[in-house]
Amino acid sequence: MTHTQKMQIKGDIRRRRTSAERGTQLVELAIVIPILLMLLAAAAEFGNYYYTYTTLTKATRVAARYLTVNSTDTTEQTVAKNLAVCGSTSACGTGTAIVKGLTTSNIQITVTNGAGTEPATVTVAIINYNYTSIVDLGRWTGGLLNNIAVNPSTTMRSMQQWY
């Protein structure tokens, strides 16, 4: 066998191998893309959940701080609820809540009395609030990620006794 014949055989083998592997990259891409998209959606969903949780935590902190330096009567509690829901002391307009779906009925205020008539602590909690997803991952995971409760709360010592 001459050197030229050997080179032709090697070329034939290479051509057969590459033609047999022609569609494998497309198949690999078809397998990997849904997994990558799921990971990307999960990362976006986690980021949005974290944003929602921290925003609600800050809202409870602002309302609790307001009540620790002001009276804890029903009028001031309504103002504190408005602070937690829309970030202002006046009632919210339509669709101006700091987090989608949050209303004043989701805010629970508990005042614990200390010695005398002054409150000792004020607790502001978010109740019955479920996270609203941006991507419906619950459908892909069999409902595991649907209706995730977000219920942060803040307890602060009342400053009224020091005034």
Mind listing the pLDDT tens digit for each residue in 119-133?
788 999 999 999 888
**Angstrom distance (rounded) from CA 94 to CA 141:** 34
8's CB contacts (< 8 A; 6+ apart) are: none
Tokens of 69: 């330096």
pLDDT at 89: 82
Kindly calculate the radius of gyration of the chain based on its CA atoms and give it in whole angstroms.
30
**pLDDT value at 162 more than 60:** no
| Ranges of each domain in the chain | 3-162
CA 71 to chain centre: 33
pLDDT at 145: 66
**Angstrom distance (rounded) from CA 80 to CA 161:** 19
**Angstrom distance (rounded) from CA 119 to CA 61:** 17
- Please report the beta strands in 18-158, taking only residues with DSSP state E, as ranges in sequence order: 107-113, 119-126, 153-157
Write the pLDDT tens digit of every residue in 67-120: 998 888 889 999 999 999 998 888 776 668 889 889 999 999 998 887 666 778
**pLDDT value at 40 more than 80:** yes
Token look-up 């219920």 returns: 151
**pLDDT value at 24 more than 70:** yes
Single pTM value for the model: 0.76
Token look-up 């400053």 returns: 159
Report residue 25's pLDDT band, with 50, 70 and 90 as the boundaries: confident
pLDDT at 51: 94
